[in-house]
Amino acid sequence: MANDLEFVGAKGMKVAFIGSECYPFIKTGGLGDVMYALPRALLRQGCEVRVILPCYRCIPEKYRERMTYVGSFGMNLTSDGRSFYVGIMELELDGVTYDFIDNRDFFDWGNPYTGLWEDIPKYCYFSKASLAALNFLEWIPDVIHCHDWQAALVPVYLRTLFDVTPVGSARSVLTIHNLRFQGICSIEHLKYWTGLPDFLFNYPVFKVNDHEANMFKGGLAYADRITTVSSTYAGEIQTDFYGEGLNSHLWYHRAKLIGIVNGIDIDIWNSRTDKLLPVPYGEENVLKAKRENKKALQTRLGLTVDENKLVIGLISRLTDQKGLDLIDAVFTQMVDENVQVVILGTGDPRYENAFRYYENTFKGQVCAYIKYDESLAHQIYAGSDALLVPSLFEPCGLTQLIAMRYGTVPIVRETGGLKDTVEPYNEYTGEGNGFTFDQYRADLLLDAVRRAERVYFEERSRWDAIVTRDMEKDVSWEHSADLYLKLYGELKG
């Protein structure tokens, strides 16, 4: 592979990442993890990487005070030519340069996403300002790698208003992390806030129908390459069920679409060095250490302290995507005197309340921690025996990867990246990484949990073998970073 990369000229390649969130500055889900970990993996392969992000007010003060002001300029944005301030604040972290686009009109909120009415102007501004900033910085990348609908206008701007500017020499990659969110609004609204030429709105590029336009759709049409975060999801989104209305569009553009599965940052997610764990561990002492971490977790969360219980964790945004209605449907059958359930998540009040109700009903057996809490997440990954991910759809999913790295056995539905990363346990050979079910049905989820229980309580040595195998599985970014580099190299030509 190393030779391959040299051949395509990947070494020394300049890549700009543009997206709406990035750990440790701002993270609401897996996009934040990828925007952090993939640039670092590319850097290790010899790329020069810059990450461009909005300068949200909610970025923690400890990072804001380390930013330096690089410059500012005025930029025309809207169709009536209104000019907006673009400030560039910069920070370097472990060799990666982060440029934050500063404008208080757009980013001065407590939350990155505040509803489509504000988000559409916000990300039109951000996409255009990111390209203008690259020109201003005179840092012209070979490839601009954009992420999700919030940065989907970048490829459109690149080939239109910026085509004959210095940054116009760059090629673009647009990654779909989640097709459910697309940035749809009235054609007039998008025309106004993008300032893009009228003719673009007469073709199917952006159009959903005679009244509405779709930012993601436009970006997918204009990007040189489209990637998504697993091979299975790349196929799924070309079907009616998973395509979120863009399946025909994606099928039409399939020649430039590929799936590259995510990894995780194995320095952050390292059970040996994880300072947030009561008892750090490696493969050699995982079984004993996990029991200790389990008891510490039970104590912290007010559960009955008993290392013999099977503790099932759920760390998730609480939205329909995550299969929570299946969990809700069989919850009372899942919890019994042998099984405890720990939930960490925030989201839809319907699910938040359901889980609070279960916590109340099953005191000492269920904990519903309705918050976003990084440190508790680490302790749940380490202290649980199994992790539940029964998603309706899952482009990649990182929680099952982190779970495996921490020796926690995933119980997942076979969809998207879950299918590509969790090999089903085979009761005849004892092989596999976790317990899986295929159709989106609560009885099948319950059956998968029961199968896991049976192996845990009745065939412990087989369970322990899964734990060790999961810890040894390569869930790092290395292989996938190579695939991205190869793709960038092909574009650079």
Applying CB under 6 A, the residues found at the interface with ligand ADP are 29-31, 33, 315-317, 344-346, 372-374, 377, 396-399
| Inter-residue contact 103 to 85 (CB < 8 Å) | yes
Residue 443: which of ligand GLC, ligand ADP, none does it interact with, CB under 5 to 8 A by kind? none
Which residue lies nearer to ligand GLC by CB, 20 or 194? 20
Could you tell me the smallest distance in angstroms from the CB atom of residue 346 to ligand GLC? 15
Indicate the residue among 317 and 462 with the shorter CB distance to ligand ADP: 317
What are the beta bridge partners of residue 100?
A: 53, 89
Partner from ligand GLC, ligand ADP, none contacting 234, C-beta within 5 to 8 A by type: none
Give me the least distance between CB of 4 and ligand ADP, in Å please. 28
Q: How far apart are CA 190 and CA 170, in angstroms?
A: 25
Residue 277 in the binding site for ligand GLC (CB under 6 A): no
DSSP 254-307: GGGEEE------TTTS-TTT-TTSSS---GGGHHHHHHHHHHHHHHHHT----T
Smaller CB separation from ligand GLC, 103 or 230: 230
Identify residues 217-256 at the interface with ligand GLC (CB under 6 A). Answer: 229
- Give the residue with the Cβ less far from ligand GLC, 102 or 236: 236
Query: Does 395 sit near ligand GLC (CB under 6 A)?
Result: yes
Nearer to ligand GLC, 194 or 433 (CB): 433
* SS3 state at 351: helix
- 151 binds ligand GLC per the rule CB under 6 A: no
In 3D space, the residue among 241, 240, 239, 216 whose CA is nearest the CA of residue 226 turns out to be 216
Q: Could you tell me the CA-to-CA distances from 338 to 234, 270, 310, 361 in Å, in that order?
A: 39, 29, 6, 16
In the complex, least distance from residue 420 CB atom to ligand GLC, rounded to whole angstroms: 11
Binding letters toward ligand GLC, positions 163-202, x by CB under 6 A: --------------xx------------------------
Rounded to an integer, what distance in angstroms lies between the CA atom of residue 177 and that of residue 13?
23
One DSSP character per residue, 195-251 reads ---GGGGTSTTTBSSSSEEEHHHHHHHH-SEEEES-HHHHHHTTSTTTSTT-HHHHH
In the complex with ligand ADP, the residue whose CB is nearer, 194 or 400, is 400
Nearer to ligand ADP, 175 or 316 (CB): 316
Asked whether position 398 contacts ligand GLC by CB under 6 A, the answer is yes
Rounded to whole angstroms, how far apart are CA atoms 361 and 357?
Answer: 6
Whole-number Å distance between alpha carbons of 300 and 218: 48
In terms of Cα–Cα distance, which of 230, 176, 177 is closest to 27? 177
- The count of other CB atoms within 10 Å of the CB of residue 301 is 21
Interaction of residue 132 with ligand GLC, rule CB under 6 A:
no
Binders of ligand GLC in range 25-64 (CB under 6 A): 29-31, 34
Shorter beta-carbon distance to ligand ADP: residue 62 or 371:
371
Query: Nearest approach, Cβ of 455 to ligand GLC (angstroms)?
Result: 26
134 binds ligand GLC (CB under 6 A): no
Neighbours of 125 (CB within 10 A): 24
Which H or E run includes 312? strand 310-318
Question: For residues 73 and 372, which CB has a smaller minimum distance to ligand ADP in the complex?
Answer: 372
How many helical (H) and strand (E) elements, i.e. helices and strands, does the chain have? 19, 17
Task: Please state the closest distance from residue 269 (CB atom) to ligand ADP, in A.
Answer: 9
Dist CA 128 CA 132 (whole Å):
6
Q: Closer CB to ligand ADP, residue 33 or residue 142?
A: 33
Closest CA to 400 of 450, 360, 451, 435: 435
Which residue sits closest to ligand ADP, CB atoms considered?
30
CA 293 to chain centre: 27
From residue 400 to residue 439, what is the string marking binding to ligand GLC with x (rule CB under 6 A)? Answer: -----------------x----------------------
- Minimal distance, residue 138 CB to ligand ADP, in Å: 34
| Residue 44 backbone dihedrals phi, psi, to 5 degrees | -65, -25
**Minimum Å distance from CB 413 to ligand GLC?**
12
- Shortest distance, CB of residue 135 to ligand ADP, whole angstroms? 31
Which residue has 């920070």 as its token pair?
A: 91
Residues 17, 151: contact at Cβ < 8 Å?
A: no
Candidates 109, 142, 106, 111; CA nearest to 126 is 106
Find which of ligand GLC, ligand ADP, none residue 315 binds, CB within 5 to 8 Å per kind.
Answer: ligand ADP
Residue of 20, 103, 194, 262 interacting with ligand GLC (CB under 6 A):
262
- Starting at the edge strand found earlier in the chain, the sheet holding 366-369 runs 366-369, 339-347, 310-318, 386-389, 409-413, 435-437
Query: Least distance from C-beta 121 to ligand ADP, angstroms?
Result: 24
Q: How far is the CB of 412 from ligand GLC (least distance, A)?
A: 11
**Beta-carbon contacts of residue 449 (< 8 Å; ≥ 6 apart):** 312, 330, 334, 388, 411, 435
The entry of ligand ADP, ligand GLC, none that residue 229 binds, CB within 5 to 8 Å by partner kind = ligand GLC
When CB distances are held under 5 to 8 angstroms depending on the partner's kind, the choice from ligand GLC, ligand ADP, none that residue 372 binds is ligand ADP
Binding site residues, ligand GLC, CB under 6 A: 29-31, 34, 177-178, 229, 262, 394-398, 417
